[in-house]
Structure 1
C-alpha cells in the first residue's frame, strides 16, 4: 500500500500536526484553519469523524451521528455527512468510493447528506451519491435536498426540521449571513470578503455566527454552514466573495 492509498482519521493525538484538506494554511486561511481544528477537537468525544487521504490533497470526508450533527435534520440512528470532497488529480481513483464506504460501514440505520438538484459550490454532488444508491427523502427551500441511503429499511425516513423548511430571518434592510465554525473559509470570506463586497454595494451587512450545536439544529436554513439572506429571505449558500459573484447571485434578487 502506497502512502497515497492510506487514509488517516483525525484524533486528539494527530490533529495539531495534520492538515485539514480544504484550506491549507495561508494568510487568508490560517485563522479559519485554527478555528476549524478547535471545533473538531470539541466534537471528537461525540463521535465526529474526519477521515482523509494521507497526502497534501483535498480528499476527505466528515461525518457524525445525525443527533450530534450541526444541521437541522431529524434522522435518529443515521450518520450525517457534513463535508465530502475529492478534487483535482485525485478524482477517478476510487478514493471517494472508499471514503463513502468507510462511513456506511459504521451506520446503523443509514447515511444522510444535504445536497441540491443542481451542483452548487461547497455542496455534496447529488449525482455522485445517486451512483451509490442514495435518493431524495426530503426538500427545503430554496433548493436543498436531503439524500439518504437506508440500511435499515424499517427505520423512519430522515427529514429536515421545520426551521429548515421555512427559511427566514428578521429583515435588516440588507444582507444577513449565518455561518458555523465548521468551515475554515468562513473566518475570512464572511468577516472580510463578504463584508467588503456587500458594503461596497451599499447594503447593510450582518454576520451571525452559529456557535453551538443547538443553534445549528434550529437554524433558519438547511445549510447553517453558510447561508446568505437578503431582506429576511434565504438567497444562497454560496460565498459572495467578489463583485462577479455578487452580480450573478444578488443581481436578480435586487431587480425584483
Structure 2
C-alpha cells in the first residue's frame, strides 16, 4: 500500500480525486462544485492533503481567518475534516496527516491548530479522543460541541458570538449549508424531494461567503439543521435521516 501523500494544487485539481465522494456516482455533481470552491480557497492557504490511493484518507485545513466556520482567532490553522476510512484504518495514516498539519503550522510560524469536535463522538466531526492524544485541549464549548486547540504560544481561538444563539426565529425546518463538501448537493436534493412529498415547509440558506460562515447562529461545519427554532445537528441528511429527525 502506498505511503505517498499528495497535496491538491491548482495544477492537479482537475485530475485528482477528492476522496470522500470517490466511489459514489450520485455525489459527482457535488465534486465539481467542491473543485470550483477550492479554486478560490487554495490561494488563501487552504490545504487538501490525501493519500495517493483510491480511498478516503485525507485532511483539509485552512488559516482560521479564512476558514468557512464560525470560529474566530488569529494565526491558527483550522481543520475542517480529517478522515480515514475502511481498510485504511489502523495504519497510522490519521496520525501522519495530523502531524503534517501541526508541522505545517509550526513552519509557518502559526500560533497553533484548532478543530471542531464534541464531547461524545459524532458523525462528520473529528474524534476528540484522537486529537487529545496529540495535545489538543478544549478552548471553547457550546452544549455538547467543543472547539479544541493545540496552542504553541498560549493564545486561543474561540467560537463566534453568533454560535451561542443555537437557534433562529423561524419554526420551519431550516438548513444552513456550505459549498465545501461534495455530499451537500445530493443531500439538499433528497431533503427537498422529501419535504415536497410530505408538504413540509423548508427553508434552505446557502452559506456562500466567508462573512456568512463566520456568523452562522450555531455550530457549523458545512451544515446546520434547525427545527422549531432550535438547532438540531451538523449531520448531513438524506431522506431517511430527515424522516427520523422529524419523527
Please report the TM-score for the alignment, with normalisation by the length of structure 2. 0.93
How many aligned positions are there? 243
Q: Does 1:55 align with 2:57?
A: no
Secondary structure in structure 2 of the residue aligned to 1:165: helix
Equivalent pair of 2:68/2:214 in contact (CA under 8 Å): yes
Equivalent pair of 2:80/2:221 in contact (CA under 8 Å): no
Q: How far has the Cα of 1:78 moved from its partner?
A: 0.8
Moved more, 121-130 or 21-30: 21-30
Q: Which one of 233, 242, 246 corresponds to residue 246 of structure 1?
A: 242
Q: Structure 1, unaligned stretches of length 5 or more?
A: 252-256
Equivalent pair of 1:175/1:198 in contact (CA under 8 Å): no
Q: How far has the Cα of 1:74 moved from its partner?
A: 1.3
- Match runs of 1:99-114 below 5 Å: 99-107=97-105, 108-114=110-116
Q: How far has the Cα of 1:247 moved from its partner?
A: 4.8
> Residue 92 of structure 2 aligns with which residue?
94
Structure 2: distance between partners of 1:175 and 1:126: 29
Structure 1: distance between partners of 2:56 and 2:175: 26
Q: Which one of 204, 217, 220 corresponds to residue 220 of structure 1?
A: 217
Q: How far has the Cα of 1:25 moved from its partner?
A: 6.2
Task: State the superposition RMSD in angstroms.
Answer: 1.5
Q: How far has the Cα of 1:83 moved from its partner?
A: 0.9
Structure 1: distance between partners of 2:44 and 2:195: 37
CA-to-aligned-CA distance 1:130-170 (integer Å, 9 cap, x gap) = 111111111124x22101111123x2x21101101112223
Structure 1: distance between partners of 2:42 and 2:242: 36
Q: How far has the Cα of 1:248 moved from its partner?
A: 3.9
> Residue 164 of structure 1 aligns with which residue?
163
Secondary structure in structure 2 of the residue aligned to 1:168: coil
Q: How far has the Cα of 1:231 moved from its partner?
A: 2.2
Q: How far has the Cα of 1:201 moved from its partner?
A: 4.1
Structure 2: distance between partners of 1:213 and 1:246: 27
Moved more, 175-184 or 160-169: 160-169
Structure 2: distance between partners of 1:73 and 1:193: 29
Question: Is the alpha carbon distance of 1:17 and 1:189 closer, same or farther for their aligned partners in structure 2, counting shifts above 3 Å?
Answer: same
- Match runs of 1:1-80 below 5 Å: 4-24=2-22, 26-80=24-78
Secondary structure in structure 2 of the residue aligned to 1:239: coil
- Match runs of 1:179-190 below 5 Å: 179-190=177-188
> Residue 127 of structure 2 aligns with which residue?
125
Structure 2: distance between partners of 1:224 and 1:209: 13
Q: How far has the Cα of 1:13 moved from its partner?
A: 0.5
Structure 1: distance between partners of 2:67 and 2:129: 23
